[in-house]
Amino acid sequence: MWGFITCLNDILIPFLKVIFGLSYAQANLINLCFFGAYFLVSIPAGKLVARVGYKNGLLIGLVIAAIGCFLFYPAAGSRAYALFLGALFILASGITVLQVAANPYVAILGKPSLASARLTLTQAFNSLGVFIAPYIGSILILSHLPELDNVAPETIDIGALQIPYLVFGGILLFVSILLSRLKLPVIAHTTPDGFSAADMGRAWHRRHLVLGVIGIFTYVGAEVAIGSHIVNYLNLPDVMNMTPKEAGIMLMFYGGTAMVGRFLGAYLLGRFPTGRLLAINAVGAVLLILLSVSSTGEVAMWTLLAVGFMNSLMFSAIFTLAVADLGSLTEEASGLLCTAIVGGALIPPLFGLIADYQSLRLAFILPALCYAYIGWYGLSGHKQKTA
């Protein structure tokens, strides 16, 4: 569900861009509000989860996310961009609590050597939501955009957002009811080696965690920047010249390849070093982006969509490398890492500015630089040293 809802931002951006006559930079305020919630909410969420436990943290996150979905109804009714941004912030706050509770719980729920594989497997089901969201979003939302450029925005049916988000909110509440009936294991932490009781509030002193925070920042920023602009990229005359609905459906392959990669990664991460696989995927992402922006037509389209495959295990690999051997500091470290998801709020607007003032093609160099850093983290930056 949270993969599905997060991916719908990639449908909202081209839809609201037309409705409100926004520039690329203005449309990316959607990402700023959604992923900005991670920056503001993650650390408090980490403290909340440490106090109430993983299961209650998940329940709280689901309810908050449902409220955010329900707020889309009045936002669409008032036809106010600011209200949409507010609803997205509340929705993202709930997703943030879910991330802070679920990711470390999965990472520590079993053998440490298989933590990356477990988290990648759960991310694969996240990608299932990412895979189907573009198709459903294109049918329910982007299909309401006219193909003619001279149609007045005020004549377009913005109410197309109301019913879908009411349904999504209802599903989230239903999931919370199911979860409340499950009995989940309670994890008891031990103090990590090299730390005394006085060090318990200083997880950021671990170098591999700090560099992992930067890794999550760059990864999420790159992934969101690419996904949010695939529709516009495929609309370019020298790429595929697709309509918004057609391009939105093609966005399925961006999430679909990530889903395939994550199921495959869940197998590979149990058998090969996590850092090495992370570096290979990051280098592959850089090469695919460079090939896409230097080509046209189907080559440009498929090479960019294939970056989703390279994204597949990055989040789980970076996360598990960063929280390795932190013991009772895991919740605090999770809060720090989820704060870094703010990269999805800051990098896409910068991407949008480059696209506005230079070109959309040139803007893709920014995520390529992000992947270059991730490659270095996989090769060397994750090695544990005290900062």
User: 351 near 28, Cβ under 8 Å?
Assistant: yes
Taking a C-beta distance cutoff of 8 angstroms, is the pair 62, 173 a contact?
A: yes
Token pair, residue 161, equals: 């957002």
CA 96 to CA 148: how far, in whole Å? 38
- Check if the beta carbon of residue 38 is closer than 8 Å to that of residue 92: yes
| Rounded-to-integer distance, Cα 13 and Cα 26, Å | 10
Going residue by residue through the chain, which has 387 residues, state the pLDDT in tens, using 9 for 90 and above.
878 888 788 778 877 887 787 888 888 788 888 888 888 888 888 888 878 888 888 899 999 999 999 998 898 888 888 898 999 999 999 998 988 888 777 777 777 777 777 777 777 787 788 778 878 887 877 776 665 455 566 666 777 778 888 989 999 999 999 988 988 777 665 444 444 444 444 666 678 888 999 999 999 999 999 988 998 999 999 999 998 878 888 888 888 888 888 888 878 877 888 899 999 999 999 999 999 999 999 999 999 999 999 998 898 889 888 887 666 666 677 778 878 888 988 999 899 999 998 999 999 999 999 999 999 999 988 776 654
d(C-alpha 385, C-alpha 208), whole Å:
7
Q: Around 62, how many Cα atoms within 13 Å sit in the side-chain half-sphere?
A: 19
